[in-house]
Structure 1
Amino acid sequence: MGVRMKPKDAATLILTRTAGGHTEVLMGRRAAGHVFMASKWVFPGGRIDPSDFRIEAAGDLPKASQALLARELPARRARALALTAIRETFEETGLSLARPAPPASIAGPWRGFRAVGALPDLSALTYMARAITPPGRTRRFDARFFMAKAEALLDVPAARPTEELDTVAWIPMDEARALDLPAITR
Protein backbone atom coordinates (compact mmCIF):
# COMPACT_ATOMS: atom_id res chain seq x y z
CA MET A 1 0.00 0.00 0.00
CA GLY A 2 1.32 3.46 -0.93
CA VAL A 3 2.13 6.37 1.33
CA ARG A 4 -0.92 8.47 2.23
CA MET A 5 -0.29 12.01 1.06
CA LYS A 6 -1.84 14.92 2.91
CA PRO A 7 -3.58 17.28 0.45
CA LYS A 8 -1.88 20.66 0.00
CA ASP A 9 -3.94 23.85 0.16
CA ALA A 10 -4.59 25.31 -3.29
CA ALA A 11 -6.96 27.71 -5.00
CA THR A 12 -8.47 28.11 -8.44
CA LEU A 13 -10.05 31.07 -10.22
CA ILE A 14 -12.93 30.64 -12.65
CA LEU A 15 -13.10 33.77 -14.80
CA THR A 16 -16.22 34.38 -16.88
CA ARG A 17 -17.18 36.88 -19.57
CA THR A 18 -20.03 37.44 -21.99
CA ALA A 19 -19.16 37.54 -25.68
CA GLY A 20 -21.65 37.50 -28.51
CA GLY A 21 -24.48 36.78 -26.09
CA HIS A 22 -22.75 33.65 -24.73
CA THR A 23 -20.94 33.06 -21.45
CA GLU A 24 -17.30 32.04 -21.78
CA VAL A 25 -14.85 30.73 -19.20
CA LEU A 26 -11.08 31.14 -19.19
CA MET A 27 -9.37 27.75 -19.35
CA GLY A 28 -5.92 26.46 -20.08
CA ARG A 29 -4.56 23.12 -21.21
CA ARG A 30 -1.87 21.78 -18.90
CA ALA A 31 1.40 20.99 -20.59
CA ALA A 32 1.82 17.32 -21.56
CA GLY A 33 4.97 16.93 -19.44
CA HIS A 34 3.20 17.58 -16.13
CA VAL A 35 2.81 14.72 -13.67
CA PHE A 36 -0.53 16.04 -12.39
CA MET A 37 -3.39 16.37 -14.89
CA ALA A 38 -1.16 16.40 -17.97
CA SER A 39 -2.95 17.70 -21.10
CA LYS A 40 -6.19 18.35 -19.17
CA TRP A 41 -8.14 21.57 -19.60
CA VAL A 42 -8.27 23.40 -16.26
CA PHE A 43 -9.02 26.74 -14.67
CA PRO A 44 -5.91 28.65 -13.54
CA GLY A 45 -4.82 27.77 -10.02
CA GLY A 46 -2.21 26.26 -7.78
CA ARG A 47 -0.69 25.85 -4.33
CA ILE A 48 -0.73 28.41 -1.59
CA ASP A 49 2.57 30.24 -1.04
CA PRO A 50 3.76 31.85 2.22
CA SER A 51 3.74 35.23 0.44
CA ASP A 52 -0.04 34.92 -0.04
CA PHE A 53 -0.41 35.55 3.71
CA ARG A 54 1.57 38.82 3.55
CA ILE A 55 0.60 40.61 0.34
CA GLU A 56 -1.45 43.79 0.61
CA ALA A 57 -4.81 43.67 -1.17
CA ALA A 58 -7.37 46.10 -2.52
CA GLY A 59 -10.70 45.46 -0.86
CA ASP A 60 -11.87 42.51 1.17
CA LEU A 61 -13.60 39.30 0.21
CA PRO A 62 -17.37 39.82 0.05
CA LYS A 63 -19.06 39.06 3.39
CA ALA A 64 -20.98 36.07 1.96
CA SER A 65 -17.73 34.47 0.78
CA GLN A 66 -16.05 35.20 4.11
CA ALA A 67 -18.93 33.52 5.95
CA LEU A 68 -18.77 30.38 3.78
CA LEU A 69 -15.00 30.08 4.14
CA ALA A 70 -15.21 30.69 7.91
CA ARG A 71 -17.04 27.36 8.27
CA GLU A 72 -13.81 25.51 7.47
CA LEU A 73 -10.88 27.93 7.75
CA PRO A 74 -9.48 30.72 9.92
CA ALA A 75 -10.01 34.13 8.26
CA ARG A 76 -6.28 34.63 7.63
CA ARG A 77 -5.97 31.33 5.73
CA ALA A 78 -9.18 31.98 3.77
CA ARG A 79 -7.83 35.38 2.67
CA ALA A 80 -4.50 33.81 1.67
CA LEU A 81 -6.27 31.17 -0.45
CA ALA A 82 -8.30 33.85 -2.24
CA LEU A 83 -5.04 35.65 -2.98
CA THR A 84 -3.53 32.36 -4.18
CA ALA A 85 -6.24 32.13 -6.85
CA ILE A 86 -5.43 35.66 -8.07
CA ARG A 87 -1.64 35.14 -8.03
CA GLU A 88 -1.79 31.79 -9.81
CA THR A 89 -4.07 33.24 -12.50
CA PHE A 90 -1.56 36.02 -13.10
CA GLU A 91 1.37 33.58 -13.21
CA GLU A 92 -0.39 31.18 -15.58
CA THR A 93 -2.18 33.64 -17.89
CA GLY A 94 -0.80 37.14 -17.36
CA LEU A 95 -4.27 38.40 -16.36
CA SER A 96 -4.54 40.43 -13.16
CA LEU A 97 -7.67 40.61 -11.05
CA ALA A 98 -6.59 43.88 -9.50
CA ARG A 99 -6.94 47.59 -8.95
CA PRO A 100 -4.30 50.14 -9.93
CA ALA A 101 -1.71 50.94 -7.27
CA PRO A 102 1.71 52.53 -7.27
CA PRO A 103 4.27 50.03 -8.57
CA ALA A 104 6.23 48.39 -5.78
CA SER A 105 9.47 46.49 -5.75
CA ILE A 106 9.03 43.31 -3.75
CA ALA A 107 10.61 39.87 -3.80
CA GLY A 108 8.88 36.56 -4.35
CA PRO A 109 5.95 35.33 -6.40
CA TRP A 110 4.05 38.64 -6.28
CA ARG A 111 6.98 40.58 -7.80
CA GLY A 112 5.58 40.72 -11.37
CA PHE A 113 2.09 41.57 -10.19
CA ARG A 114 3.21 44.52 -8.06
CA ALA A 115 5.76 45.70 -10.63
CA VAL A 116 2.96 46.52 -13.10
CA GLY A 117 1.27 48.77 -10.55
CA ALA A 118 -1.49 46.53 -9.25
CA LEU A 119 -2.95 45.31 -5.98
CA PRO A 120 -4.96 42.08 -5.99
CA ASP A 121 -8.70 42.80 -5.72
CA LEU A 122 -10.37 40.44 -3.27
CA SER A 123 -13.72 42.23 -3.55
CA ALA A 124 -14.19 40.84 -7.07
CA LEU A 125 -14.14 37.21 -5.89
CA THR A 126 -17.00 34.89 -4.99
CA TYR A 127 -16.23 31.65 -3.17
CA MET A 128 -17.83 28.74 -5.03
CA ALA A 129 -16.68 25.31 -3.90
CA ARG A 130 -14.07 23.03 -2.37
CA ALA A 131 -12.62 19.86 -3.87
CA ILE A 132 -10.06 17.44 -2.44
CA THR A 133 -8.05 15.20 -4.75
CA PRO A 134 -8.90 11.58 -3.85
CA PRO A 135 -6.30 9.36 -2.14
CA GLY A 136 -3.98 7.36 -4.36
CA ARG A 137 -3.20 10.16 -6.82
CA THR A 138 0.35 11.33 -7.60
CA ARG A 139 -0.47 14.75 -6.13
CA ARG A 140 -3.25 15.77 -3.78
CA PHE A 141 -4.78 19.20 -3.30
CA ASP A 142 -7.43 20.67 -1.03
CA ALA A 143 -8.61 23.27 -3.53
CA ARG A 144 -10.96 26.20 -3.03
CA PHE A 145 -12.67 27.50 -6.17
CA PHE A 146 -13.38 31.20 -6.60
CA MET A 147 -15.23 32.95 -9.41
CA ALA A 148 -14.92 36.46 -10.86
CA LYS A 149 -16.12 38.33 -13.92
CA ALA A 150 -13.61 39.40 -16.56
CA GLU A 151 -14.79 42.99 -16.10
CA ALA A 152 -12.87 42.98 -12.80
CA LEU A 153 -9.55 42.39 -14.57
CA LEU A 154 -7.22 45.38 -14.40
CA ASP A 155 -6.73 45.16 -18.14
CA VAL A 156 -7.61 42.44 -20.57
CA PRO A 157 -4.59 41.63 -22.69
CA ALA A 158 -4.78 38.38 -24.58
CA ALA A 159 -4.21 35.55 -22.13
CA ARG A 160 -0.89 33.93 -22.92
CA PRO A 161 0.48 30.40 -22.68
CA THR A 162 3.05 29.67 -19.95
CA GLU A 163 5.10 26.73 -18.67
CA GLU A 164 2.02 25.52 -16.78
CA LEU A 165 -0.57 26.00 -19.51
CA ASP A 166 0.46 25.47 -23.13
CA THR A 167 -2.85 26.89 -24.40
CA VAL A 168 -5.03 29.54 -22.77
CA ALA A 169 -8.41 30.47 -24.23
CA TRP A 170 -11.86 31.85 -23.53
CA ILE A 171 -14.17 28.88 -24.15
CA PRO A 172 -17.97 29.09 -24.57
CA MET A 173 -19.62 27.24 -21.67
CA ASP A 174 -21.54 24.96 -24.01
CA GLU A 175 -18.26 23.88 -25.68
CA ALA A 176 -16.21 23.49 -22.49
CA ARG A 177 -17.79 20.13 -21.56
CA ALA A 178 -16.42 18.57 -24.76
CA LEU A 179 -12.82 19.29 -23.68
CA ASP A 180 -10.57 16.80 -21.87
CA LEU A 181 -11.54 17.98 -18.37
CA PRO A 182 -10.72 16.61 -14.93
CA ALA A 183 -13.75 14.86 -13.41
CA ILE A 184 -14.11 17.56 -10.74
CA THR A 185 -14.54 20.25 -13.41
CA ARG A 186 -17.48 18.50 -15.04
Structure 2
Amino acid sequence: MGQEDARIRERPIADPPIRNAATVIVLRDAASAPKVLMGQRGAAAAFMPNKFVFPGGAVDAADATVPLAAPLASGCAARLCADADPALATALVTAAIRELWEETGLILGRPGAWDSPAPQGWRGFSRTGHLPTAEGLHFIFRAITPPGRPRRFDARFFLVEAEAIAGDLDDFSGAEDELSHLQWIPLAAVRGFDLPFITEVVLAEVAGLLRQGLPPESVPFFDNRGPRSEFQRLR
Protein backbone atom coordinates (compact mmCIF):
# COMPACT_ATOMS: atom_id res chain seq x y z
CA MET A 1 0.00 0.00 0.00
CA GLY A 2 1.37 3.42 -0.95
CA GLN A 3 1.53 6.46 1.33
CA GLU A 4 -1.41 8.07 -0.50
CA ASP A 5 -3.59 4.99 0.10
CA ALA A 6 -2.64 5.01 3.78
CA ARG A 7 -3.60 8.68 4.13
CA ILE A 8 -6.98 7.98 2.51
CA ARG A 9 -7.66 5.13 4.94
CA GLU A 10 -6.68 7.24 7.94
CA ARG A 11 -8.80 10.22 6.90
CA PRO A 12 -11.78 10.50 9.30
CA ILE A 13 -15.25 10.11 7.84
CA ALA A 14 -17.22 13.35 8.13
CA ASP A 15 -20.43 13.27 10.13
CA PRO A 16 -23.61 13.61 8.08
CA PRO A 17 -25.47 16.93 8.28
CA ILE A 18 -27.94 17.36 11.12
CA ARG A 19 -31.50 17.41 9.76
CA ASN A 20 -34.50 18.86 11.55
CA ALA A 21 -37.05 16.21 12.48
CA ALA A 22 -40.30 15.77 14.38
CA THR A 23 -41.59 12.82 16.38
CA VAL A 24 -45.07 12.20 17.80
CA ILE A 25 -45.93 10.32 20.99
CA VAL A 26 -49.65 9.47 20.91
CA LEU A 27 -50.88 8.68 24.43
CA ARG A 28 -54.04 6.60 24.87
CA ASP A 29 -56.09 6.00 28.04
CA ALA A 30 -53.85 8.39 29.96
CA ALA A 31 -56.02 8.46 33.08
CA SER A 32 -56.57 4.70 33.42
CA ALA A 33 -54.12 2.39 31.61
CA PRO A 34 -51.73 4.59 29.57
CA LYS A 35 -50.46 3.25 26.28
CA VAL A 36 -48.24 4.72 23.54
CA LEU A 37 -48.32 4.07 19.81
CA MET A 38 -45.10 2.52 18.44
CA GLY A 39 -43.90 0.51 15.47
CA GLN A 40 -40.79 -1.40 14.47
CA ARG A 41 -38.24 -0.13 11.96
CA GLY A 42 -37.07 -2.55 9.29
CA ALA A 43 -33.96 -4.69 9.61
CA ALA A 44 -32.42 -2.96 6.58
CA ALA A 45 -33.06 0.59 7.83
CA ALA A 46 -29.92 2.77 7.90
CA PHE A 47 -31.02 4.42 11.14
CA MET A 48 -32.04 2.39 14.21
CA PRO A 49 -32.77 -0.92 12.42
CA ASN A 50 -35.19 -3.29 14.20
CA LYS A 51 -35.89 -0.77 16.97
CA PHE A 52 -39.37 0.06 18.21
CA VAL A 53 -39.91 3.81 17.81
CA PHE A 54 -42.55 6.51 17.78
CA PRO A 55 -43.81 7.80 14.42
CA GLY A 56 -41.58 10.57 13.11
CA GLY A 57 -39.11 11.73 10.50
CA ALA A 58 -37.31 14.60 8.84
CA VAL A 59 -38.91 17.93 7.95
CA ASP A 60 -39.73 18.34 4.24
CA ALA A 61 -39.43 21.68 2.48
CA ALA A 62 -43.18 21.69 1.75
CA ASP A 63 -44.07 21.41 5.45
CA ALA A 64 -43.41 25.12 6.01
CA THR A 65 -46.07 26.00 3.41
CA VAL A 66 -48.91 23.99 4.95
CA PRO A 67 -51.38 26.09 6.98
CA LEU A 68 -52.65 24.84 10.32
CA ALA A 69 -56.32 24.98 11.25
CA ALA A 70 -55.18 25.81 14.80
CA PRO A 71 -51.68 26.68 16.03
CA LEU A 72 -49.54 25.15 18.73
CA ALA A 73 -50.27 26.47 22.22
CA SER A 74 -48.40 29.71 22.91
CA GLY A 75 -46.13 28.34 25.66
CA CYS A 76 -45.03 25.37 23.56
CA ALA A 77 -44.54 27.61 20.54
CA ALA A 78 -42.32 29.97 22.51
CA ARG A 79 -40.06 27.10 23.63
CA LEU A 80 -39.97 25.70 20.12
CA CYS A 81 -38.83 29.08 18.80
CA ALA A 82 -36.08 29.39 21.43
CA ASP A 83 -33.52 27.92 18.98
CA ALA A 84 -35.59 27.92 15.79
CA ASP A 85 -37.04 30.71 13.71
CA PRO A 86 -40.87 30.84 13.49
CA ALA A 87 -40.94 29.36 9.97
CA LEU A 88 -39.00 26.31 11.13
CA ALA A 89 -41.16 26.02 14.23
CA THR A 90 -44.28 25.82 12.06
CA ALA A 91 -42.61 23.30 9.74
CA LEU A 92 -41.71 21.10 12.71
CA VAL A 93 -45.33 20.99 13.87
CA THR A 94 -46.71 20.22 10.41
CA ALA A 95 -43.99 17.62 9.83
CA ALA A 96 -45.08 15.88 13.04
CA ILE A 97 -48.67 15.71 11.76
CA ARG A 98 -47.57 14.50 8.30
CA GLU A 99 -45.28 11.81 9.70
CA LEU A 100 -48.04 10.56 11.99
CA TRP A 101 -50.33 10.27 8.97
CA GLU A 102 -47.74 8.62 6.71
CA GLU A 103 -46.49 6.09 9.23
CA THR A 104 -49.75 5.17 11.00
CA GLY A 105 -52.66 6.44 8.89
CA LEU A 106 -53.97 8.40 11.89
CA ILE A 107 -55.26 11.93 11.33
CA LEU A 108 -54.51 14.86 13.58
CA GLY A 109 -56.85 17.31 11.93
CA ARG A 110 -60.18 19.11 11.71
CA PRO A 111 -62.76 18.45 9.00
CA GLY A 112 -62.41 21.08 6.29
CA ALA A 113 -61.42 21.86 2.71
CA TRP A 114 -58.01 23.11 1.62
CA ASP A 115 -57.93 26.58 0.04
CA SER A 116 -55.32 25.46 -2.52
CA PRO A 117 -53.99 22.11 -3.78
CA ALA A 118 -51.97 20.26 -1.16
CA PRO A 119 -48.22 20.00 -1.83
CA GLN A 120 -46.33 16.78 -2.42
CA GLY A 121 -46.44 14.63 0.68
CA TRP A 122 -49.75 16.08 1.84
CA ARG A 123 -52.11 14.99 -0.92
CA GLY A 124 -53.23 11.81 0.80
CA PHE A 125 -53.91 13.70 4.01
CA SER A 126 -55.95 16.35 2.17
CA ARG A 127 -58.09 13.69 0.48
CA THR A 128 -59.33 12.61 3.92
CA GLY A 129 -61.22 15.92 4.11
CA HIS A 130 -59.21 17.25 7.04
CA LEU A 131 -57.00 20.24 7.73
CA PRO A 132 -53.95 19.66 9.96
CA THR A 133 -54.27 21.10 13.44
CA ALA A 134 -51.80 21.49 16.30
CA GLU A 135 -54.58 21.43 18.92
CA GLY A 136 -53.57 19.10 21.70
CA LEU A 137 -49.89 18.86 20.71
CA HIS A 138 -47.34 19.53 23.44
CA PHE A 139 -43.63 20.06 22.76
CA ILE A 140 -41.99 17.90 25.44
CA PHE A 141 -38.44 16.93 24.39
CA ARG A 142 -35.56 17.82 22.08
CA ALA A 143 -32.53 15.69 21.23
CA ILE A 144 -29.72 15.91 18.68
CA THR A 145 -28.22 12.64 17.49
CA PRO A 146 -24.62 12.26 18.75
CA PRO A 147 -21.69 12.32 16.29
CA GLY A 148 -20.57 9.08 14.67
CA ARG A 149 -24.03 7.90 13.62
CA PRO A 150 -24.97 7.16 9.97
CA ARG A 151 -27.70 9.83 10.18
CA ARG A 152 -28.12 12.75 12.54
CA PHE A 153 -31.30 14.58 13.48
CA ASP A 154 -32.29 17.55 15.58
CA ALA A 155 -35.51 15.93 16.74
CA ARG A 156 -38.36 17.65 18.55
CA PHE A 157 -40.79 15.32 20.30
CA PHE A 158 -44.49 16.19 20.56
CA LEU A 159 -47.02 14.51 22.85
CA VAL A 160 -50.71 14.32 21.99
CA GLU A 161 -53.51 12.47 23.72
CA ALA A 162 -55.39 10.04 21.50
CA GLU A 163 -58.69 11.91 21.93
CA ALA A 164 -57.34 14.55 19.53
CA ILE A 165 -57.06 12.01 16.70
CA ALA A 166 -59.87 11.94 14.13
CA GLY A 167 -61.23 8.51 13.30
CA ASP A 168 -60.61 4.94 14.46
CA LEU A 169 -57.54 4.67 16.70
CA ASP A 170 -57.02 1.03 15.70
CA ASP A 171 -57.24 1.54 11.93
CA PHE A 172 -53.71 1.60 10.52
CA SER A 173 -54.78 0.63 6.99
CA GLY A 174 -53.64 4.01 5.58
CA ALA A 175 -50.10 3.63 6.89
CA GLU A 176 -47.08 3.41 4.64
CA ASP A 177 -44.68 0.51 5.19
CA GLU A 178 -41.86 2.29 7.03
CA LEU A 179 -43.00 0.94 10.40
CA SER A 180 -44.27 -2.59 11.00
CA HIS A 181 -46.06 -4.11 13.99
CA LEU A 182 -47.87 -0.86 14.79
CA GLN A 183 -49.48 -1.26 18.19
CA TRP A 184 -50.59 0.43 21.38
CA ILE A 185 -48.06 -0.60 24.01
CA PRO A 186 -48.85 -0.22 27.73
CA LEU A 187 -46.34 2.06 29.44
CA ALA A 188 -45.88 -0.62 32.07
CA ALA A 189 -44.68 -3.09 29.41
CA VAL A 190 -42.87 -0.89 26.88
CA ARG A 191 -39.38 -1.40 28.32
CA GLY A 192 -39.62 -5.06 27.33
CA PHE A 193 -39.32 -3.99 23.68
CA ASP A 194 -36.10 -3.25 21.77
CA LEU A 195 -35.91 0.53 22.20
CA PRO A 196 -33.30 3.15 21.32
CA PHE A 197 -31.72 4.76 24.37
CA ILE A 198 -33.24 8.18 23.64
CA THR A 199 -36.70 6.60 23.37
CA GLU A 200 -36.29 5.17 26.87
CA VAL A 201 -35.37 8.64 28.14
CA VAL A 202 -38.40 10.21 26.44
CA LEU A 203 -40.69 7.52 27.89
CA ALA A 204 -39.42 8.38 31.37
CA GLU A 205 -40.33 12.01 30.66
CA VAL A 206 -43.82 10.95 29.53
CA ALA A 207 -44.29 8.99 32.76
CA GLY A 208 -43.29 12.08 34.73
CA LEU A 209 -45.75 14.24 32.82
CA LEU A 210 -48.54 11.80 33.61
CA ARG A 211 -47.87 12.46 37.28
CA GLN A 212 -47.30 16.23 36.99
CA GLY A 213 -49.76 17.13 34.24
CA LEU A 214 -49.52 19.05 30.98
CA PRO A 215 -48.17 21.36 29.69
CA PRO A 216 -44.61 20.71 30.92
CA GLU A 217 -42.87 23.35 33.01
CA SER A 218 -39.70 22.91 30.95
CA VAL A 219 -38.43 20.78 28.06
CA PRO A 220 -35.32 18.55 28.29
CA PHE A 221 -32.74 19.11 25.55
CA PHE A 222 -29.86 16.75 24.80
CA ASP A 223 -27.53 19.00 22.80
CA ASN A 224 -24.90 17.15 20.76
CA ARG A 225 -23.96 19.97 18.40
CA GLY A 226 -20.53 20.41 20.00
CA PRO A 227 -17.72 17.99 20.88
CA ARG A 228 -19.35 17.17 24.22
CA SER A 229 -22.93 16.25 25.01
CA GLU A 230 -24.76 18.84 27.08
CA PHE A 231 -28.06 18.58 28.90
CA GLN A 232 -30.25 21.67 29.12
CA ARG A 233 -33.84 22.56 29.93
CA LEU A 234 -35.79 24.89 27.68
CA ARG A 235 -37.98 27.14 29.81
Structure 1 and Structure 2 fold alike (TM over 0.5): yes
Residues of 2 paired with 1:139 and 1:34: CA distance?
11
Unaligned runs of 5+ in 1: none
Of residues 140, 144, 149, the one that matches 2:156 is 144
Question: How big is the shift at 1:140?
Answer: 0.7
Give the match for residue 121 of structure 1.
Answer: 133
Matched, 1:63 2:83: no
Which stretches of structure 1, 4 residues or longer, exceed 4 Å deviation after superposition?
none
Of residues 35, 39, 44, the one that matches 2:55 is 44
Give the match for residue 102 of structure 2.
Answer: 91
Matched, 1:76 2:87: yes
Of residues 37, 62, 82, the one that matches 1:26 is 37
Maintained 8 Å contact 1:40/1:181: yes
Partner amino acid, structure 2, of 1:51: A
Matched, 1:170 2:184: yes
User: What do you get for the CA RMSD once the two structures are aligned?
Assistant: 1.6
Residues of 2 paired with 1:107 and 1:73: CA distance?
23
Maintained 8 Å contact 1:28/1:42: yes
TM-score normalised to the size of structure 2? 0.75
The percent identity for this pair of structures is 42
Of residues 7, 30, 51, the one that matches 2:18 is 7
TM-score normalised to the size of structure 1? 0.94
Larger Cα-atom Rg = 2
Maintained 8 Å contact 2:15/2:149: no
Question: How big is the shift at 1:75?
Answer: 1.3
Residues of 2 paired with 1:162 and 1:176: CA distance?
23
Higher relative CO (CA 8 A, sep ≥ 6), structure 1 or 2? 1
Partner amino acid, structure 2, of 1:41: F
Q: How many residues align?
A: 186
Give the match for residue 208 of structure 2.
Answer: none
SS at the partner of 2:188? Answer: helix
Maintained 8 Å contact 1:159/1:169: no
Maintained 8 Å contact 2:135/2:164: no
Residues of 2 paired with 1:83 and 1:146: CA distance?
11
What's the CA shift string for 1:142-164, capped at 9, x where partnerless?
Answer: 10000101100111252346321
